Amino acid sequence: MISGIETSALALLGGEPVLTRSLAAWPVFDDAEREGLRQVLESGVWGGYSPAVKVFESAFAEAHDCQYGISLANGTLSLEAALLACDIGPGDEVIVPPITFAATATAVLRVGAVPVFSDIEGTSFNLDPLLLEEAITPRTKAIIPVHFAGYPANMDELLRIAQQHGLILIEDCAHAHGAVSGGQHAGTAGTWGAFSFYPTKNLGAKGDAGALITNSEEISIRTKSLRNYGTTKRYEHPETGLNSRLDEVQAAILSTRLNWLERFNARRREIAQKYFDKIDNVRIELLSPPVEDENHVYHLFVVRCAERNRLAHFLEERGIETLIHYPIPAHRQGCCKNVRTDPRGLANAELHAEQLSRAGVDHDRLSAHQIGNVIAVEQRCLRILEPIQKLRSQRRPGYGSRDHRPPNRRRDGISQVPPQAEIQSSGDHVCHPLEHRVRVKPMALELEVVGKGHRNLEGGNDAEL
């Protein structure tokens, strides 16, 4: 026993880890999804031309109170197509936030334009409108705000700035499926709303998929041409386009899962509220809750911790998996090394990269018992970190030793994102400067604690809500 802690209960000394059994199967599916797939398989129409694609496009646009939905192969190409449809290319600048997945910036680069990084707000981690105006030059053509973690950016101010300077507004909604701000759905304030349906999203397919929504018939028609090699008539190509049609299998899956989205988002909000109510640790700072519940869909639940890496290791030693997501921020990626950033620096983005962490809020598969265990771990985590350091020399073979470490672990004890998880579609968000944000993929439930009757960090019973 050290400092009143029963050391034999610690997983790093061979004790029982908090997470001891497999999580529920993922991705989830039901009979309606099976039936949709059966209809597609028996339709005999393939290659992105099935009626199932149009059905999903219409339903998705309607769910966001928008007139036109255009499906694409993934979220990255959705952003690229949106830029092309607005004639953004060589010589143009596009303002983007530094806290975003690299695809937000690389989509700009791929059309020949230049991304310009402007800093974020310290509270929402979305583009700061007050700082953004300073980044506008005569070459600026568009702004791409990212609704980070599922919380809509300040669209009223961003729209005002865009209109004042004659700029195009393209919303990166990869985290914000179903989010609402001021009675308006994310993705509908600007010219375009770009979505990714990568499997980990609030609305996820079983593979890559993406979509755009708009109220402009003109650019919707052009985008449908651009996604199909730049043609509206077979073998005639008036302009260079993309090969980016959504296949009917993913469309059928998404049409079914769209019916679940509202319920899934509501469950995420419930879980987030439990975290707000119960996590009370002086070393873990929670962000401010949204003004209205519907504002946030909690693709991520983020917390700030100055000792984030120690926190990640502490959780791992108790069998709770975490991931450091985006170790290299977008503006420090090799492909962006020569692009312009705010000359005043990116102070909030730098702080975000050093201190931000995130907990899973996976919709209705996370039980009250699991939530309670996550909260119990967070409550105790940094209070007993110092004694944990003293125990390293006593480590014996078993859970947490080098030879028994779970897959995808680096030797320093911090999780390593597997390559296939690292390459995600637009907006699956990069973090900044020094960026080692501890991240737990929500659909993988890797930060959740499972198991009835297991010991908590201090050897007692599991916490219950």
pLDDT exceeds 60 at position 292: yes
pLDDT score, position 420: 30
> Which residues contact residue 311 at a Cβ distance below 8 angstroms, ignoring those fewer than 6 apart?
284, 305, 357, 381, 382, 385, 438
Q: Name, of 64-78, 287-301, 326-340, the range with top average pLDDT.
A: 64-78
pLDDT score, position 249: 93
Of 80-94, 152-166, 252-266, 447-461, the range with the lowest mean pLDDT is 447-461
pLDDT exceeds 90 at position 84: yes
More confident position, 250 or 420: 250
CA–CA gap between residue 247 and residue 42 (Å, rounded)? 15
pLDDT exceeds 50 at position 464: no
pLDDT band at 189 (very low <50, low <70, confident <90, very high): very high
Average pLDDT over residues 57-86: 97
Average pLDDT over residues 52-58: 95
pLDDT score, position 456: 30
CA–CA gap between residue 336 and residue 425 (Å, rounded)? 17
pLDDT exceeds 60 at position 226: yes
pLDDT exceeds 70 at position 4: no
What is 31-258's CATH number?
A: 3.40.640.10
pLDDT band at 15 (very low <50, low <70, confident <90, very high): low
CA–CA gap between residue 377 and residue 399 (Å, rounded)? 18
More confident position, 116 or 339: 116
pLDDT exceeds 90 at position 372: no
Class of the CATH-defined domain 7-17+261-444: alpha beta
In this structure, the dihedral spanned by the alpha carbons of residues 346, 352, 355 and 359, taken in order and rounded to 10 degrees, is -170
CA–CA gap between residue 225 and residue 247 (Å, rounded)? 16
More confident position, 49 or 408: 49
Average pLDDT over residues 315-339: 72
pLDDT band at 33 (very low <50, low <70, confident <90, very high): confident
pLDDT exceeds 70 at position 393: no
Of 126-130, 164-168, 361-365, the range with the lowest mean pLDDT is 361-365
3-class DSSP state of 140: strand
Rounded (10°) angle between helices 51-63 and 31-43: 140
Q: Are strands 192-196 and 285-286 parallel, antiparallel or unpaired?
A: unpaired
Count the Cβ atoms, other than its own, within 10 Å of residue 99.
32
Sequence letter at residue 436: H
pLDDT exceeds 70 at position 358: no
Average pLDDT over residues 118-128: 89
Average pLDDT over residues 301-324: 73
**pTM (2 d.p.):** 0.76
Q: In the predicted model, what is the mean pLDDT of the chain?
A: 75
Average pLDDT over residues 414-432: 31
pLDDT band at 385 (very low <50, low <70, confident <90, very high): very low
pLDDT exceeds 70 at position 366: no
pLDDT score, position 374: 67
The token pair at 366 is: 């996370």
Helices (H), 259-346: 261-278, 308-317
Average pLDDT over residues 298-307: 82
Average pLDDT over residues 4-24: 55
Average pLDDT over residues 329-338: 80
More confident position, 15 or 2: 15
For the chain, the structural domain boundaries read 7-17+261-444, 31-258
413 contacts 420 by C-beta, under 8 angstroms: no
Average pLDDT over residues 346-364: 64
pLDDT band at 125 (very low <50, low <70, confident <90, very high): confident
305 contacts 355 by C-beta, under 8 angstroms: yes
More confident position, 451 or 54: 54
